[in-house]
Each structure stands twice: as C-alpha cells, then as structure tokens.
A and B are shown apart, each in its own frame.
Chain A
Amino acid sequence: DTAVSQTPKYLVTQMGNDKSIKCEQNLGHDTMYWYKQDSKKFLKIMFSYNNKELIINETVPNRFSPKSPDKAHLNLHINSLELGDSAVYFCASSVSTEAFFGQGTRLTVV
C-alpha cells in the first residue's frame, strides 16, 4: 500500500487555468506538507497542516491555496497558473521526526 499518494503524477496545462493536486496519506499522521521542487532541484516548503489546521505558510503567492478536508488529505489548489509555477510538487506527511513523501506531481504550464 502506498503511504503517501499524489494525483495526478503529471499535469500539463495552459497559463491562466485553475488546477488541483490531491494528496492522501494512510499512515495516520497528524501533519502534512506541500513542497515545491524547482528546475534546479531545490526543495522548498510551501505549507504545513496539523490536524487540518494551517501551521506553516511560507511566502507563496495567494494563487496557491491548500485545503485539508480531513487529517488524511491535503490538496493543493492553484489559480491562474503561470509559467513560473512549472515544477515538481511533493506532498509529505510526518509524525515525530520522520517525514514520508509522495512520488511528486510534475506540473508543466504552457
């Protein structure tokens, strides 16, 4: 069973569109995250939720909005997509000192 699963794995879309990436974890963890990995492979945290509450919100455009309907899900919605949003987005969940990552969603904005 996949511990942290993201969908879709690949997403190609046009500028200006609105898209969502879904993330689910079956580990029973309280905390979930979204990370962005840019073209230079630099991973940067975007958001963190603990028990459906936002606890970390780094400097990210307002076009990005995380939504956590329950503890096992943290979805990322992006409005008015821009070329610079092209990247790989990773979801993760953690308990105590270990974090587990999804396989990533490669977003390409054309």
Chain B
Amino acid sequence: SQELEQSPQSLIVQEGKNLTINCTSSKTLYGLYWYKQKYGEGLIFLMMLQKGGEEKSHEKITAKLDEKKQQSSLHITASQPSHAGIYLCGADSGGSNYKLTFGKGTLLTVNP
C-alpha cells in the first residue's frame, strides 16, 4: 500500500524566514496533493502535482515534484503567522478508484 513520510513532524520558525517541508512516497506517485489544515477548519487545497519535475506556486508557497515522482517539497518564502497550521501531503497512486492517502502532517508554527 502507498505510504507517505513527511518531514519534519513539526517546525517553528520566526516570521520572515523561509522553510521547506518534504514528502516522500514508497511508490511512484500518480498525483501528489498539498493541503493545509487550520485548527477547527477543514483541509484547504493548496496545489496538485502530476508530472515529474513539475513545480507550482501560489502566492509565497511553491511545491515541486521530483523527476522520479516519489518526492515532493513545499517551500514557503518569507513566512507569516497566517502560514501557521498543519501541512499534509496526499498521494493518489492511480488505479480505477481515486483514493488519497495522506502523510502524518507537519505542524508549522510561525512566531511574530
């Protein structure tokens, strides 16, 4: 079965600093999704990557999928308190049934 490892498990940064969260899959990814979860809220879709080497950006958040499609990184530039939350990567391993498998998440704290 698909397994996703996220690192680090938690991260505390000072406002304005850059940071990176990694997600590694045990299998080749059909699709890799990044979500953000704030306390008491649902999962907010950030972006989806499908092609090897693909990179997408949304505001100050950039996500990349490596050429082998087994590793993704999420990079936040000039972090702000509003970036705080849990970041989850989710994988779709393909097949006829669409199903997302998630990593355990990375808890990000941004100190003002």
A interface, CB within 8 angstroms of B: 4, 9, 31, 33, 35, 40-45, 48, 55-56, 90, 92, 94, 97-104
Contacts and interface: CB of A to CB of B under 8 A. Distances in A.
16 contacts: A41-B104, A41-B107, A42-B102, A42-B105, A43-B88, A44-B102, A45-B100, A48-B98, A48-B99, A90-B42, A97-B31, A97-B98, A99-B45, A101-B45, A103-B40, A104-B40
B82 to A, nearest CB: 18
A98 B45 contact: yes
Interface in B1-51: 31, 33, 35, 40-45, 48, 50
B62 interface: no
Chain B interface helix/strand/loop/mixed: strand
Contact of B35 (A31, A33, A101): A101
Given A97-B31, A101-B35, A104-B41, 4 more contacts: A43-B90, A90-B42, A99-B90, A103-B42
Contacts of A98: 45, 48
Contacts, number: 55
B42 A97 contact: no
A102 B102 contact: no
Given A41-B86, A98-B48, A104 B98 contact: no
Contact of B41 (A42, A48, A100, A103): A103
A94 B92 CA distance: 12
